[in-house]
Amino acid sequence: MERLLNFLDLDGYGQFIWAAYGLTAFVLIGLAVQSLRFQARTDAELEALHASPETTKVERASNEAKE
């Protein structure tokens, strides 16, 4: 147990090193979450844009069939 505590202490610099690792992990996780949200939002926008012309083609075809 003492060896583990000595390792985590890192010759007295452990508090700075582990804080830096924690902050880095927090930022990377935040970037990953932001990227996934952005991708989901843009995928939905792209799907809506792809669906829009198809809807107008269907509407045009049905209007031409009625005439």
pTM: 0.64
Alpha-carbon distance of 42 to 22, in angstroms, equals: 30
- How confident is the model over 3-29, as pLDDT tens digits? 999 988 998 999 999 999 999 999 999
Quick check: 52 pLDDT over 80? no
Alpha-carbon distance of 52 to 66, in angstroms, equals: 21
- How confident is the model over 23-41, as pLDDT tens digits? 999 999 999 999 999 999 9
Give the helix/strand (H/E) hosting 32: helix 14-66
- Domain-by-domain residue ranges, the chain? 27-67
pLDDT score for 58: 64
In the chain, the amino acid numbered 48 is: A
CB 8 within 8 A of CB 18: yes
* Gyration radius (Cα) of the chain, Å: 27
Query: Looking at per-residue confidence, does 53 or 15 come out higher?
Result: 15
Could you tell me the pLDDT band of residue 49, with boundaries at 50, 70 and 90? Answer: confident
